[in-house]
Structure 1
Amino acid sequence: MQLFGSTFHTLENSMNYASKKNQVISNNIANVDTPGFKAKEVVFEDILKEKMGPSLQTKRTQEQHIPFTGLEQKGYNVVSNNSTAYNHNGNNVDVDKEMSDLAKNQIYYQALVDRLNGKFTSMESVLKGAK
């Protein structure tokens, strides 16, 4: 039995994804001048597309569940881009792209936090009772 329902679990997983993405982007920015460093990124969509192919098998534990599984527990991977080099020292970190990705990720994370706060506020309202 889930005490808080699946929304909290989904928000938790989404926040873990955004947090990991923030760590990877920060690491890329920190290594912008490191010779030979290859930028990393957190990918989710590629895994989803791969898993959603015609061979996707699902398992439901209850009839009411949406028939979809197949992603790994964390649902994302960290991959390196070894095919490019933007700088003379073999480094491929594009600071402008990283800063843009960081800003987008911060907005995404803040939206998740706001949604989670809203869920807790609703729960608090129910527990206190109507006035």
Structure 2
Amino acid sequence: KGLDPEALTGKYPPKIQVASKYERRVDTRSYDDKKKLFEGGWEEIGKEVNEKIWNEKKDQYSGRQKSKLPKWFGERPGKKAGEPETPEGEEDAKADEDIVEDEEEVEEEVVEEEDEEAEEEEEEEEEEEEEEEEEEEEEE
């Protein structure tokens, strides 16, 4: 249906219906379903979607080919003359052990520093007490 020619002669342009009443979609969810969405159901749906995406990305990442580091030409730095080649995995284990040992050393150093600080504080307190006692004796 088009516009009437008489409608264009008026003071204001005619109003045009933009949306068709047949194109509108009706929400097919029940009242209970809508209520659940307001009670946190929307968050659950979001979590499920995020979990699905995360698993897809994780599978994609784990499926990729792992690149190896290039072999050294000649002797490896730090390798001793008669030492055999280390199989894969041992290097990782050695690196992990070194890290653990370093952490233990750091913890020991921290404990020693704390002990030293505590001893120094005790000595200072004892000196202050001695000075106070001497002052009291002098006053008497």
Normalization by structure 1: what TM-score?
A: 0.32
Q: Identify which of structures 1 and 2 has the higher relative contact order when contacts are C-alpha pairs closer than 8 Å and 6+ apart.
A: 1
Normalized per residue, the structure richer in helix is: 2
**Larger Rg computed on CA atoms:** 2
Normalized per residue, the structure richer in strand is: 1
